[in-house]
Amino acid sequence: MGGKSLLMGQTLLCTANPFGAAPRDAFVHNRNGAVLIENGIIAAVGNSSELLHKHRNANVHNHSGCLLLPGFIDPHVHYPQTAVIASWGERLLEWLSLHTFPEEMKFCEQDYASKIAELYFDIALKNGTTTACSFCTVHPESVEAFFRSAKNRGLRAAAGKVCMDRNAPSGLLDDARRGYEESRHLLKRWHGRGRLSYVITPRFAVTSSRGQLEALGDLWREFPDCLMQTHIAEQPEEIAEVARLFPESLDYLDVYDSCGLLGSRGLYGHAIHLSTRERDRLKEFGAALIHCPTSNAFIGSGLFDLRQRMREGQKLGLATDTAGGSSFSMLRTMASAYEIGQLNGSAIHPGQLIWLATEGNARVLGMERQIGSLRVGNEADILVLDLLSTEAIAQRAGRADDIWEELFPTIMMGDDRAVKSVWVSGNKVVG
């Protein structure tokens, strides 16, 4: 921070929502672009020659040919599951019992939680993700570890203590009162501190009693500027279990709705198998549906119809769901969203995929004035993407006629090798 840095490369500036306008008309591409960073903020965006001339004292980083993008945003991850990614077999409820819950038990120890938080951020940053919104575990130590690591790295990050008071091993349970009080304490301690935000986090209706959900609804009413995150309608077996546990409710969403857990700052992970009533109600509140395509394919949950949900006017995010998801990479997540789109009969444009992973996700988190685009005044979280990172990608990109054809092979086949450098708050942290 302090000095000026000038990053030179291709720029792709979004001027309209590419799900509203034609995707090709929603961006301005500049093959000789540049971004000026000053005091951790994006101070100017324009032509490289002009900015170079105007700011002769800036430290120049020439990434000619690479694409400068806002850092990727991942609005639904479980950082405590980092070490159990790619665990073989079973459906959602079995997968949780077999792989996830035993690992989450270890987060009662601060040292272990810190070790995994550091590992998670190392991997996420190498993949170009500069902001994550994470579920922690039931233990306050897991939240402390996440926020401390994010703070030390200067990251914008969001997270919350998972609340569960039934249907999980006893070492992972709180109760309605403790869930409320620990969440409230962590919220007061971390929310709004620097770049950090607290997220009220009931895991899902299967693992919380009505009393616990109502207590968290009260907490959200007390702190309405907080986000709330949970899961909904991921698998048919899960939906049947929610119907059995809450026979008085109309449907899955009604469980949350009736407990004060439906709102415009709500993030609802998966949301695959919703009824028309539930979709209408989510839209009425402007709540966000978070699509987690690698997770849905990996756990066999179903095909989320992104195009149809966009058409009906839902607010949508795109996330890894690490580690139900099988990748830390937002590039792989975009590829998976494209494949699931194809299975639903619609090809999602690369501009739409990039928009979802950046500005779209910033909107979902209510952070579009800080991150998610290369707008002047935004925080300088920037990713330098190498569009020729492997031989297989380079030979295809080399035949491209425009930026979309040049970028698409990296979306479909790229990984952390395509992430050449990453800047957080104007400081280079990768590359």
Q: Which one of the spans 82-90, 207-215, 262-270, 311-319 is the region binding Zn ion (CB under 5 A)? A: 262-270
Contact track, Zn ion, 219-258, x by CB under 5 A = ----------------------------------------
Q: How far is 180 from 217, CA to CA, in rounded Å?
A: 9
- Cβ distance to Zn ion smaller for residue 136 or 334: 136
- Cβ distance to Zn ion smaller for residue 268 or 408: 268
Q: How far is the CB of 137 from Zn ion (least distance, A)?
A: 13
Does 321 help bind Zn ion (rule: CB under 5 A)?
yes
Q: How far is the CB of 292 from Zn ion (least distance, A)?
A: 7
- Cβ distance to Zn ion smaller for residue 238 or 321: 321
Determine the residue type at 150. Answer: A
- Binding-site size for Zn ion (CB under 5 A) equals 2
Q: Which one of the spans 137-145, 217-225, 317-325, 421-429 is the region binding Zn ion (CB under 5 A)? A: 317-325
Q: How far is the CB of 319 from Zn ion (least distance, A)?
A: 8
Question: For residue 213, how many other CB atoms are within 10 A of its CB?
Answer: 24
Whether a cis peptide bond, with omega within 30° of 0, leads into 323 is: yes
Q: How far is the CB of 147 from Zn ion (least distance, A)?
A: 19
Contacts of 265 (CB under 8 A, 6+ apart): 224, 225, 226, 227, 228, 366
Q: Which one of the spans 124-132, 164-172, 267-275, 279-287 is the region binding Zn ion (CB under 5 A)? A: 267-275
- Cβ distance to Zn ion smaller for residue 140 or 269: 269
Largest CA distance in the chain: 68
What is the spatial order of strands in the sheet that 382-385 belongs to?
A: 41-47, 27-38, 4-14, 59-70, 382-385, 419-424, 427-430
Give the end-to-end CA distance of the chain in Å, rounded to a whole number.
Answer: 17
- Cβ distance to Zn ion smaller for residue 96 or 418: 96
Does 165 help bind Zn ion (rule: CB under 5 A)?
no
Pairing, β 315-318 against β 382-385:
unpaired
- Cβ distance to Zn ion smaller for residue 18 or 80: 80
Contacts of 367 (CB under 8 A, 6+ apart): 73, 131, 156
Q: Are 165 and 209 in contact (CB under 8 A)?
A: yes
Q: How far is the CB of 181 from Zn ion (least distance, A)?
A: 24
Q: How far is the CB of 229 from Zn ion (least distance, A)?
A: 9
Count Cα atoms within 13 angstroms, Cβ side, for 236. 3
- Cβ distance to Zn ion smaller for residue 261 or 387: 261
Q: How far is the CB of 335 from Zn ion (least distance, A)?
A: 19
Q: How far is the CB of 78 from Zn ion (least distance, A)?
A: 6
Q: How far is 217 from 47, CA to CA, in rounded Å?
A: 49
**Alpha-carbon Rg of the chain, whole angstroms?**
21
Q: Which one of the spans 19-27, 119-127, 160-168, 318-326 is the region binding Zn ion (CB under 5 A)? A: 318-326
Q: How far is the CB of 232 from Zn ion (least distance, A)?
A: 10
Q: How far is CA 137 from the centre of its chain?
A: 17
Question: For residue 170, how many other CB atoms are within 10 A of its CB?
Answer: 6
Q: Which one of the spans 252-260, 266-274, 378-386, 390-398 is the region binding Zn ion (CB under 5 A)? A: 266-274
- Cβ distance to Zn ion smaller for residue 269 or 341: 269
- Cβ distance to Zn ion smaller for residue 249 or 322: 322
Q: How far is the CB of 205 from Zn ion (least distance, A)?
A: 14
Q: How far is 125 from 348, CA to CA, in rounded Å?
A: 26
Does 74 help bind Zn ion (rule: CB under 5 A)?
no
- Cβ distance to Zn ion smaller for residue 66 or 227: 227
Q: How far is 99 from 235, CA to CA, in rounded Å?
A: 18
Q: How far is 82 from 141, CA to CA, in rounded Å?
A: 16
- Cβ distance to Zn ion smaller for residue 14 or 77: 77
Residue with the shortest CB distance to Zn ion: 321
Q: Buried b vs exposed e over 217-250: b needs ≥16 C-beta within 10 Å?
A: bebbeeeeebbbbbbbbbbeebbebbeebbeebe
Q: How far is the CB of 245 from Zn ion (least distance, A)?
A: 19
- What does the binding site for Zn ion look like in residue numbers (CB under 5 A)? 269, 321
